[in-house]
Each structure stands twice: as C-alpha cells, then as structure tokens.
A and B are shown apart, each in its own frame.
Chain A
Amino acid sequence: MPDVLSVVDMRFILMVLAGSVAGLFVGAIPGLSVSMATALLVSVTYTWEHSDALAMIMGVYVVGVFSGAVSAILINIPGAPSSVVTTLDGYPMSKKGQAYKALYIATIYSFTGSLFGLLALGLLATPVSRIALKFTKMDYFLLALFGLATVGSVSTKNYAKGLISVMVGLVISMVGLDPLMGTRRLTFGVQNLTGGISTVPALVGFFGFAEVLSVIYNRNQEQNVLTMVRGKVSLKEALRHWKLSLYTSTIGMLVGALPGAGGPVASFIAYNEAKRLVKEPEVPFGEGAAEGIMASESSNNACIGGALIPMLTLAVPGDAVTAIILSVFYVHGLQPGPMFIRQNPEAFHSILAAGFIACFALLVLGLLAAPRICKVITVPKNIMIPVVASLCVIGSFACNNRLFDVALMFLFGLTGFLMRRFDYPVAPLILAMVLGKMMDSNFRQAVSLASSAENPLKSMFGHPLTVVLSICTAVVLLSNIPWTKKWMECLLGKVKK
C-alpha cells in the first residue's frame, strides 16, 4: 500500500479527477463510448508522462464503465455495452418514479465492484506474473489465440463472423515491417505503410468515426428522458444485497480476466446468477428489481480490475478498452508482460492508485452529479456528432502528425460502420490488431526452435501449460462450431437416455 501511495500527488489526483469527469459524460452520452474516449486520449497523452496518461485514462475507464448505467436508467439506452443488462431493471424502476433509487444502487455497487476488481488486481497480478514467467513462446501464441477465439465467440451470435473479424485484425497487424526479419509485408509499395498501421488511427476510426456514421444512420431514433424525482434512499437499504454483490463481483472479475470476454458477458452471467439465487425478489426481475441493477453494475465494474490482470502480466488484453490501454503502454515505451511489475513498479502502482482514486470519484460523481446530468446526456446529436468527427480528425492526426493517418481513420471508420451493419464485431478485430505482432513473432520463434529440435512436436507442445492452453483453445473453437455443437448435443442426449 505505501508503494501505491508513493505515486500519488496533487497533479496525479487532478488528472484522475479530470478523467473521471470526462468518463462520466462520455459513458453517459449514448453515441460516445469509453473505448472511443480512451482511443482519442492515446493520441493526446502520448507526449505526457506515463503516470499522467495512465491517471487520466484510468479515470475515464472506471467512471465511464459506471456512467453507462446513467443513460440506461434514465433513457433506456445503455451508454456502454456493459450496461445493457442494467436497462432491464433500471428503466422500469425509473418509470415507477424511482430513478434516483436506481442510480443510487448503480453507484454504490459500481463502486464496490470496481474496488473489488482493483483489489483482486493488486493481490493477483504478482502471482500471475510468476506463473507467466514459465510461459514458452508457444504458450504466448496459444494464450493470445485462446483470447481471440473466446472474444470471437462472445461478441456475436455468428461465430464465423467473430473469427473473420479476428482474421481482418491480424491482417491489419501484419502490414509493415515484419517483427523478426524486418521484411516489408502487405505495403504494396505505399511508403506510408512501411512503418505499419498505427493503432491510434485504427482505434479512433473503428470506435469514434464508425460511431459517428452509425449515429447518422440511426438519427431518427428519439429519446425520452424521465424526470428525476430525488427520493430518499438509505445506505442500509441499498447495501442489503452486499453478500450477493460479492458473488457477482467475483463473476465479473473472473470473466474480465478471461482474455476477450469483458463487461457485457460478465453482466449477463451475473444477472442470470442473481435471478437464479434470489427466489423471491421484492419486485420481479425485469420490472425494476434492485438485485438486477446490483448484479449488472457490480459485475461489469469488477471486470475492470480483472481485465487488467492478463493485460499487465501477459500483455493479453481482457477487452477493447484494455487493448487500447495496452497501446498506451507501447506508446510510452512500457512493455507489459511477466517482468512488467518487477521492471516498472511505478507504472503498476500508478494504475492501482489511479483506479482506487477513480473509484472514490465514481462514488462522489455518481451520488452528486449523475442525477443532475439528464439534460446533458440528451445533447442534440446534430451538434455532438460533427464535434466528435472533428475530434477523430485531431486524434488520428496527432499521433504521427501526418494526414495519411486521417485518411486511414476515415477508411477504418467506414469499415467499422459496415461491420456493425453486417453484424461483424469490432472488439475481436481490435484485440487481434493489438496482439497480431506478438502472435506472429512468438509463433515463428516457436516453430524455428522446434524445427531444429529432435522431436519438433514435443518441442512445441510438450510443455504442460502448452497442453492445457491447446486443449482450452480447441474446446473453445470446437464448442462454438454449429455442427460440432449439434453432434455434442446428440451425444449428450444419447448418454442421458
């Protein structure tokens, strides 16, 4: 704890608070997202000290994930994908005139969930790093593959589309000089592509500009804001479900730690678990049950700490936002992985400290400011969208100071928009893009080492951890193929008979 506090000074706290306030609005306004904000921040913060950059980004991340619940509760439109489940009970509760109570519960359990996830990060990161030291090149490749296979399966109904997104991300990551030999690949003579495609224009395009185009496409949708009646909610009443929240936070943390899963999956699982465990809720689930809001919010916020564990210790991001945070690390010359905590303790402490400060900022902003921002979250889209488009231009230009990146951003934005239209998830593409170079170099090194060994197969897959990871990856891949799924169901049916 003293180590964590050693990085905190007034400037650091102000950075977190600035990020938290930005996160509150970004998360709450439908059309803006935490991923988009962090992507834009990468380009702004790359000249800053890494502690300042991490402080602001953690503020946006922690409070942004929570504030998705504000619009979910008040206008029935989740501000973030992880708040989709919150709408199920949050909005019905608001319609009954209990919007303040719903926001209060969402704030309290987002706070406890975030705190739980960050504590888990603080406690588990070092042991996981020790295990990660035993990873071979093949293990890293398989872990990344496992993450991509998982994210492909959870982010869309059609697994093939999820995996195709992964492949497109891998292709983008391969453009430029190859990581081992320095040979040009897929540049097609374009000089500007020799250095590869920067992560920032791709992130800004896929998350920012694609959102702009999607909002323009769906701009006739109306929003009804419910009036806020400030009622009285006691802390004792809100904390009635604390035992269950520990369970749902654990679900959130574990799902967050799974490479590729993330908040939306965690909140769905936690919600279903709450439904299963609470036999007689005061109000039925789906009609304004406090337990529903609690389960969704505690789990999606606990995901934050969970998602940071594989990112910091294995350089494998847990979700899209941690993929962007990973690029912040690379931009600042930091290399996450098993040695990260040992070699860069101050960066690790900055993340923890910023996360904890952001948790308290979440509590204060959630209780005091969130009920008052219902007018802001309905800022006219015809004013907000042009501003976001300009921000995308600034953000994509700022990383390399060249207009070529702006053109790439527009191209990626259009691609992202089309992907959304045709139900191709963007998150697997981003994860693949970030992990692609690491996968490529680790795979080729593993193959090279194996080719000179006596028994190549044993050299590649002989390690116990490699066997476990291979089995896990194969299970995820096979269990998501419709034909094997049917075959398994038939097999299980026969066994039951």
Chain B
Amino acid sequence: MKNKIHSLIIEGVLFCGSGLGLLSYSLVSYGKSFNKDWAQSPYLFPLIVGLAMTVLSAWLIGEGVLAGRKFAGGDGREENDPQKDPAGGGDAKGKTGGVAAALLLCGIYYLALAELKIPYITVGIFSFLYTFSTFEVATVVFLAAMMAFLGVRKLPVLLFVPFGITLFLSIAFRAMLHVLLP
C-alpha cells in the first residue's frame, strides 16, 4: 500500500502530457504556418495555455509527492484517493461498473439513433396527427432498458412509463416546440 502512487501524481503526469502535447502542437503548427509573427499567430494562445498546463501539472505532481510522503509517514489515509468513495458505503468498483453499464446502454441508444432508419409514420387520431420515427422507437426501448437496469422490476411500469414519457417528449418537442429530433 505504501508503494502506491498517489493519484495526484498520476493526474499530474496525464495533464503534463496534455500540456506538452499542446505545446508541441503549437510549435509544429507555427513552424508550418505562413505567418511567422508570433503576435498575430493563431498558435500563440495555445502555446501559452500549453505552457500553463505543464506548469500546473508540475504543481499537481509536487503536491502528490508531498501528500505521498505525508501518507507514508502518517496515519495511512490518503486525502485525495479516488478509490475513496465520497458517497460513503458501497464499493467503488461496483459503482464504476454501474456507470460503465449505463454508458454502454447510452452507446447502444446512440448507435440505434445513428444507424436505424425507420420511415416517418403518421397516425391520425380524430383530428390529431401523431408522427413517429426512429427516435420514438429507440427511446421507448432505451428508457425501458435503463429503468430495468436501475432496478425497476414492475412490468406495467416498464411497459407503460417509457411509452408515456416518449409520447410526451415527442409531442412536446416535435409537435409543440418544433424541435428536430434525432
């Protein structure tokens, strides 16, 4: 445990890499550009930001080293440990798994919106016309899947709530607010 690298050092290294990346990008792009006047160069600001980010990451690494020393000689509790669960209780890995699964569902939802091509279908109910397409179908499935994932077990809720919410969103945005839906 004592050999564990303090999270601030890892974060610092990550941002140091980003800062150096931005610095080199600015210098290389400046070198290739036609305009050689730094005062007017579009790469001046990225250069300054990259420099500042590198300095800040060094600061972060310094804090991480100090905190690591304190940790090694202190009570063994890290102040800035990402594994420490801020919510209290429950294992962080399980919770992260939950977030990953939610992201996966969102990814599938995104792919469905991007790849599925359901033609617009308009249904007439008395004088009211309701149009539905890919968004409505994908959203009903996504809402039901997400609710089931979040622990809803009652079948009527899983069937009717996603349908009702999608209908509401579709009417509110597409029909009333004239917002284009995916």
Residues of A within 8 A of B (CB): 43-44, 47, 158, 160-161, 163-164, 167, 170-171, 174, 178, 180-181, 183, 185-186, 212-213, 216-221, 380-383, 385-387, 389-391, 393-394, 397-398, 401, 403, 406-407, 410, 414, 417, 421-423, 439-440, 443-444, 447-448, 450-451, 482
Q: Which residue of B lies closest to A404 (CB)?
A: B114
Contacts of B24 in A (CB 8 A): none
| CA gap between A440 and B43 in the complex, in Å | 10
With contact pairs A160-B60, A164-B53, A167-B53 given, residues A407 and B110 touching in the complex (Cβ less than 8 Å):
yes
Q: Do residues A213 and B40 form an inter-chain contact, with CB atoms below 8 A?
A: no
B interface residues, tally (CB under 8 Å) = 67
With contact pairs A164-B60, A417-B99 given, residues A218 and B142 touching in the complex (Cβ less than 8 Å):
no
Contacts of A397 in B (CB 8 A): 180-182
* Smallest beta-carbon distance A266→chain B, Å: 24
With contact pairs A213-B99, A423-B80 given, residues A385 and B146 touching in the complex (Cβ less than 8 Å):
yes
Prevailing SS type, chain B contact patch: helix
Q: Do residues A406 and B87 form an inter-chain contact, with CB atoms below 8 A?
A: no
| CA gap between A139 and B29 in the complex, in Å | 28
Contacts A220-B90, A386-B150, A448-B40 aside, 8 further interface pairs with beta carbons under 8 A come to A181-B42, A186-B25, A216-B102, A218-B87, A382-B150, A382-B152, A394-B173, A447-B38
Q: Do residues B150 and A444 form an inter-chain contact, with CB atoms below 8 A?
A: no
Q: Which residue of A lies closest to B113 (CB)?
A: A403
- Interface assignment of B82: CB less than 8 Å from any CB of chain A: yes
Contacts of B110 in A (CB 8 A): 393, 403, 406-407, 410
Contacts of A381 in B (CB 8 A): 150
- In the complex, per-residue mask of B95-108: 1 if CB is within 8 Å of any chain A CB, else 0: 11011001100110
* Smallest beta-carbon distance B30→chain A, Å: 11
The 10 closest A-B pairs by CB, nearest first: A382-B150, A386-B146, A178-B42, A218-B87, A440-B45, A451-B39, A183-B42, A167-B53, A160-B59, A447-B39
* Smallest beta-carbon distance B26→chain A, Å: 9
- Interface assignment of B56: CB less than 8 Å from any CB of chain A: yes
Residues of B within 8 A of A (CB): 7, 11, 15, 18-19, 22, 25, 29, 33, 35, 37-46, 49, 52-53, 56-57, 59-60, 63, 80, 82, 86-87, 89-90, 95-96, 98-99, 102-103, 106-107, 109-110, 113-114, 139, 142-143, 146-147, 150-152, 157, 161-162, 165-166, 169, 173, 177-182
Contacts of A414 in B (CB 8 A): 103
Q: Do residues B49 and A167 form an inter-chain contact, with CB atoms below 8 A?
A: yes
Contacts of B46 in A (CB 8 A): 171, 174, 185-186
Q: Which residue of A lies closest to B38 (CB)?
A: A447
| CA gap between A217 and B110 in the complex, in Å | 21
| CA gap between A451 and B142 in the complex, in Å | 57
**CB<8 Å pairs between A and B, sample of 30:** A158-B63, A160-B59, A160-B60, A170-B45, A171-B18, A171-B49, A180-B40, A181-B35, A181-B40, A213-B103, A216-B99, A217-B87, A220-B87, A383-B147, A383-B152, A389-B142, A389-B146, A390-B166, A393-B109, A393-B110, A397-B181, A398-B180, A406-B110, A410-B106, A410-B110, A421-B82, A421-B86, A423-B80, A439-B45, A448-B39
With contact pairs A406-B113, A443-B45, A444-B45 given, residues A382 and B39 touching in the complex (Cβ less than 8 Å):
no
| CA gap between A382 and B41 in the complex, in Å | 51
* Smallest beta-carbon distance B53→chain A, Å: 4
Select A401's contact among B49, B98, B180, beta carbons within 8 Å.
B180
